[in-house]
Amino acid sequence: MRGYWLNRAFNELRDPAARERWQEDLDAYLDEFPLTDAERQLVRDGDWGGCIDAGASVYTLTKVGATTGINLLQMGAQMRGQSMADFNGFLADQNERLRAFAIPFTDKAGDHG
């Protein structure tokens, strides 16, 4: 149940009316859910890593991103304490290291080479 109400508050942002309430008055929107003071502060601070640690799902954070204009890559950079340039470099390094483990795809269904 950890993070249930955070996820519920974030998932509600699928509804345009909820996104409008968030944008008009974040505190009033958060009052609609029985969040702890700590959870409310994480949201107010935009502490996405803290939200994850508190039980929020990355899936529901995408709803926050769509509401606030913050994309998942920007959230990831914030969670790692990196600039976007440094985070992009980190991702490029990860991709290069993992390239040897990639499954090659072909145009033929079921044929993986």
Q: What is the pLDDT of residue 57?
A: 94
Handedness of CA 94, 97, 103, 107 (dihedral sign): positive
Interacting residues of 64 by C-beta distance below 8 A, sequence separation 6+: 10, 13, 48, 70
Segment among 5-9, 50-54, 95-99, 109-113 with least mean pLDDT: 109-113
Residues 31-68 have pLDDT tens digits of: 999 999 999 999 999 999 999 999 999 999 999 999 99
Percent of the chain with pLDDT over 90: 67
Full-prediction pTM beyond 0.85? no
pLDDT number for residue 72:
86
Q: At residue 113, does pLDDT exceed 90?
A: no
Q: What is the pLDDT of residue 1?
A: 75
Report pLDDT for 109: 61
CATH 1.10.700.10 fits 4-98, yes or no: yes
